[in-house]
Structures are given as C-alpha cells and as structure tokens.
C-alpha cells in the first residue's frame, strides 16, 4: 500500500474538500482520498505507485494548487 501526502492551498470548507475528493477519486488505482481543509492536507492511498502529476492535475482541475510533502 502506498500513501502520498500533499499540501493544498486555497481550501477553506467542506465543499472544497468534496471537490478535491471527487476529482482525485477518479484517478485509476486510487483507493482512498482523505482531505482536510483545517490542516490543508490531502492524503492519497493506493495499492501501487501513485502518479503525482495526475494527483496534482486533479487538484488543479478542482480549482486549487498542491505540492507533495511526503
């Protein structure tokens, strides 16, 4: 199991979390998406290697920006 953590800029509420969760959740191979507007974090989990570029593009599609932190 692989887990990548990202710092997301611009989230302020549960609607922000939902938007990101929906976009990132559409990526093939992603099993779990945890988003917190309070901490500004996004944790993505999957069985294999997670493509950072796909995750970052999905976050941008949702209207936010992110960088990988772990």
Say if residue 69's pLDDT is above 90: yes
pLDDT tens by residue, 6-51: 999 999 999 999 999 999 999 999 999 999 999 999 999 999 999 9
Cross-strand partners of 51: none
Q: Which pLDDT score, from 0 to 100, does residue 18 have? A: 97
- Please determine, looking at this structure, whether the domain spanning 2-68 carries the CATH number 3.30.70.100: yes
Record the pTM.
0.93
**In this model, does residue 70 exceed pLDDT 90?**
no
So where are the chain's domains?
Answer: 2-68
Check residue 40 and give its pLDDT: 97
């Amino acid at each position: 199991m692989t887990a990548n953590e990202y710092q997301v800029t611009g989230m302020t509420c549960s609607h922000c979390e939902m938007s990101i969760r929906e976009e990132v959740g559409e990526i093939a191979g992603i099993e779990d998406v945890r988003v917190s507007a309070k901490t500004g974090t996004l944790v993505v989990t999957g069985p294999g290697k997670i493509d950072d570029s796909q995750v970052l593009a999905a976050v941008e599609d949702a209207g936010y920006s992110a960088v990988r932190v772990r």
